Structure 1
Amino acid sequence: MEIEAVRTFVAVVEFGQFREAAAELRVTQQAVSKRVAGLERTLGVTLFVRTARGARPTLDGQAFLPHARELLRTVERAAASVRPGSRALRVDVLHRRIAPALALHGFRASHPGTDVDVVALGDSDATYAMEALLAGDIDATFRAVPGYDLPRGIRAERVLHDPLDLLVGPRHQLASVRSLTPADVAGHRIWVRGDKRGAEWAAYYDGLGKAFGLRIDAVGPDFGTEALMDAIAESDALATLVGSRDRHVWPDTHDLRRIPLHGPTPLYPHSFLYRTGDRHPGLAALLQHLVRTRPAPPADAWTPSWAR
């Protein structure tokens, strides 16, 4: 099994498009297609369903994904074991297109001499990321966790507060509205992909739903972001929540509408978690940058009690 083919498979899953994966890996789209085709021949299964809007993993692809990610983590650990002290600052983000990843992009632009390796562990349970921190597999991670519920040896700094937008399709009855209060959304179904018990964002959405009487659920199978966007684009009743700083192509490819929430403004709290004994020279610079560029919360901000 070719390691680069596995890496390419994971990139296509994360970006949902062969073109975007090719740009991330700095290869041609043809090379991405060849790698995926070779991996499919090796495994004897089809890993992706190709659509006009991109690619989404098949059931076999979904089953293979966690093992592929674990394989890549093993390869990274093996390489790091023979170059101690020389690797790039390794920072975990849940997704490469959300606010923490954009914050890292800003850091790299202002600190061109600091090499940063952005990884996506992709596990909804923050416990795994903390274990990776303590093991030295990563230097830092962005997570939404209570600061009082951290294992010994890990510190947290609240660095990002991302306002939430309601995302709806063109047929939704709220599609023409310019802004909403959270109370205005009560009675409308909000589907949050992967909002399962144990996911780090589950506690946040539980609190948000109870505070404003919102119907937030994750009923039904999770076929990935692309499938969720397809469903929202075609529905007159389904909506989801996204961070206002998320960098996605969804509104362009699906004709979706972002509607800001105000009065109050729900903020999703991102904390920067790091190991107290980590002496990587880039860690202090990154933390200082995040604190210096931390956005001021709006006057009408709402966050759950554990994040205040």
Structure 2
Amino acid sequence: MDVEALRTFVVVAGVGQFQAAADELGISQQAVSKRIAALERHVAVTLVVRSSRGSRLSLDGQVFLPHAKKVLTAVEQAERAVNPGSRPLRVDVLNRRISPAQAVYRFYRSRPETDLDAVTLDKENAAQAAQAVLEGVVDASFRALPADRVPTGITAERLLDEPLELLVGPGHPLADAPRISPVDLAGHRIWIPGIRPGTEWAAFYQALSEAFGLSIDALGPNFGDEALMDALADSASLATLVGRGDRYLWPRTHDLRRIPLHDPTPFYPHLLLFRTGDRHPVLTALRDHLRTTAPRTPHDAWTPDWTVTVH
């Protein structure tokens, strides 16, 4: 069914004359007549009855009119849904406690009128998240993806490098260190439960452990962040790694310590994945915000060799 013919029918029903409908639509009266005739052939009934005093809807036309209006409303809604800026920007932040979620929240706080949805996709790895972006499930996702695995149609922009810190309890031998080098962690047990094989964070921590001779333990069930904080507080040997911008909370009595890493400073390279050519104004604003607010990367920064380079 021709949408323009439907639109013409609705206008004719409203103004009562073919010439007036032609003037409103910016087409000729002949074009109005052809559209109405084509629509009547399609539905196999007479919709409009013409007379010397104008036009009126037939009984079938009166029945057809509300349905035609509903179709046009649905078409308009579909068009608005794919027009840049006509709907909220949907951003996958991976986990609401970690740096990408905090960065998107700060962006929203800087302009609270922004039409934005922060979501957490149930996707196991970066490749699945990138596919979700391609399919339009979300508009963008923060992930760490090797340069040679960025799919066609996706732009990967490195906008959120996150320096790592050591998190330990008060009884840990490194608890009072103002900062430490990654090589100083050799021989210490670093526990990061929940690392799943085949994920980008598994690849990152594998590269980190190989580069600095670390022992990163992912064994055991992941009972959540609170259980991890409890275990750190009670242990004199257990440690974990967190991002500097990650937001974890624990009871004051835990007395956990966040210790910066340096010489070099390992950075987790969160990439913003989005469809190439996406013109959503909130996406443009978010990218600009991340560029202008990102701290200067120190000279001793370390990331895996497979990381997308900063442009």
CA distance in 2, matches of 1:280, 1:297: 28
- After superposing on structure 2, the runs of 4+ consecutive aligned residues of structure 1 that deviate more than 4 Å are 80-83
- Select 1:84's aligned residue among 77, 81, 86: 81
User: Which residue matches 1:103?
Assistant: 103
Distance 1:130 1:251 in 2: 37
1:243 aligns to 2:243 (yes or no): yes
Which position in structure 1 is the counterpart of 2:168?
Answer: 168
Equivalenced residues, count: 229
TM-fit CA distance, 1:83: 7.3
Deviation at 1:297, TM superposition (A): 0.8
Q: Name the amino acid aligned to 2:114.
A: T
Q: Distance in 2 between matches of 1:241 and 1:217?
A: 11
| Match in the other structure for 2:262 | 262
Query: Which AA in structure 2 matches 1:238?
Result: L
| Alpha-carbon distance in 2 for matches of 1:271, 1:190 | 25
Give the Cα–Cα distance (whole angstroms) in 1 for the partners of residues 78 and 299 of structure 2.
Answer: 48
SS at match of 2:231: helix
Distance 1:208 1:156, change over 3 A: same
TM (norm. structure 1) is: 0.70
The Cα shift of 1:235 comes to 1.1
Whether the aligned pair in 1 keeps the contact of 2:93 and 2:142 (CA below 8 Å) is yes
Question: Structure 1 regions of 5+ residues with no counterpart?
Answer: 1-79
Which residue in the other structure is 2:191 paired with?
A: 191
| Larger of the two Rg values belongs to structure | 2
Distance 2:125 2:251 in 1: 28
Query: What are the equivalent positions in structure 2 for 1:1-308 lying under 5 Å apart?
Result: 84-85=81-82, 86-250=86-250, 252=252, 254-307=254-307, 308=309
Identity over aligned pairs, percent: 59
Q: Answer yes or no: is the 8 Å Cα contact 2:156–2:274 preserved in 1.
A: yes
Query: Which amino acid in structure 1 is aligned with residue 200 of structure 2?
Result: E
* Structure 2 alignment gaps of length 5 or more: 1-76
Deviations, residues 216-250 of structure 1 (Å, cap 9, x unaligned): 12011122222112111111111100001112213
Q: Which amino acid aligns with 1:233?
A: A
TM-score of the pair, normalised by structure 2: 0.69
Letter in 1 for 2:88: A
CA distance in 2, matches of 1:195, 1:108: 30
